[in-house]
A = this chain, B = another copy of it.
Amino acid sequence: MNNLEKILEEIASLKTHLFNQDFLLTWDKTEDELRQTLLVAEALKYLRDNNISTNVFDSGLAISNFRDNSTRTRFSFASACNMLGLEVQDLDEGKSQIAHGETVRETANMISFLSDIIGIRDDMYLGAGHTYMLEVGNALDDGYKNGVLPVRPGIVNLQCDIDHPTQSMADLLHLKNYFGSLENLKGKKIAMTWAYSPSYGKPLSVPQGIIGLMTRMGMEVVLAYPEGYDLIPDVIELAKKNAAASGGKFTVSNSMEQAFNNADIVYPKSWAPYNVMQRRTQLLQKGDKEGLNELEKEALATNAKFKSWECTEEKMKSTANGKALYMHCLPADISNVSCREGEVAASVFERYRIETYKEAGFKPYIIAAMILNNKYRNVATILQKLYKQQKPRLLS
């Protein structure tokens, strides 16, 4: 039994309901559903690595709707769609415009006549991104139900104000790969910590996504940040419940050192405090440029008090065997490389650089898995079919 056969067997053993379901938040999904997503990603990677075609769409559009700048997520989405046979068409609404209700309902249908998947990134406005995705979903339900759309396109959350599931799931797949299995993650300590960066206004979705997901794996999750850099309270509550249910642990600390101590994994990354994001959202919605400038100054000044929140060699020494796995969603603010003082010391980053690239490399497969799960009731059968077809990706 080769690796793929093992994967397919495991998928077959799961009870999931991913068919025709949007992927918006990892905590909307059962543990089996998360497992299936990882497994399908691994199966697709196996096929691709063995030059076997994963093309299931003879034609079809995937819509990308980036309401914020993006390079790597854009490429991950494009890669995922391409490997399944979908062509990406970008919906460029103009970044500043917050779409009006009527417009969302109409636009969602207008772009979907021959579309199979819609990938949305909307992380600028606290309280808006996830809501927008739900609104698009409702509009698509309405269009499908009323015979406007031949299929109900699935939605993949490419980052919202609450969660960043394609990132956290890629991170989880990286951990599974690095530590050998999901089971091996049980009891491992992961430190999701704030880190200093000479910029402000970075979204909360990565730390929220990490604590929302890793607490389900029976891990010991420590969230650490300087006083005032809180995340959305609901997600904190959720992480607590998750940890309790999975036999893991979730604690919040205001000490980076404490978080790093004996950690198996560290994820030092900057973000803006919840209340700063709230004020920023209000100012953005008002289009108050002066207010935004003032907020930036103030926030940067506050940030500057916490320059010691850097992932240094010194701090790495206190982790488990001094060898915790360093993770980052990239690009990292590397001290003396991409900025003077940043999230991580150059020597630490360099030692884990290739690992962070590998971490990022899982994202296209995670997205492709989310799409495939959305399209097939029985995804194992289709993967088996692709395997048996043995159609080469590159003609040989």
Contact = CB atoms under 8 A, between A and B. Distances in A.
13 contacts: A57-B395, A58-B392, A59-B82, A59-B85, A59-B393, A61-B75, A71-B110, A75-B89, A75-B91, A78-B87, A78-B89, A103-B338, A375-B394
Contact of A78 (B58, B61, B391): B61
B113 A60 contact: no
Contacts of A91: 71, 75
A289 interface: no
A55 B60 CA distance: 10
Interface string A54-93: 1111111100000000011001101100111101010100
A315 interface: no
Given A147-B358, A357-B143, A59 B83 contact: yes
Interface stretch (A16-24, A186-194, A329-337): A329-337
A215 interface: no
A148 interface: yes
B395 A385 contact: yes
Given A75-B111, A100-B338, A113-B364, A82 B58 contact: no
Interface size class of A (residues with CB under 8 A): 35 or more
A300 interface: no
A386 B395 CA distance: 9
B58 A110 contact: no
A323 B270 CA distance: 60
B110 A75 contact: yes
Nearest to A359: B148
Interface string A358-388: 1011011000000000010000001001100
A109 B356 CA distance: 11
B114 A82 contact: yes
A114 B360 CA distance: 12
A53 interface: yes
A102 B243 CA distance: 38
Nearest to A146: B354
A61 to B, nearest CB: 6
A42 B143 CA distance: 20
A353 to B, nearest CB: 8
Contacts of A35: none
Contacts of A110: 71-72, 75, 330, 357, 360
Given A87-B87, A106-B330, A82 B54 contact: no
A61 B89 contact: no
B82 A60 contact: yes
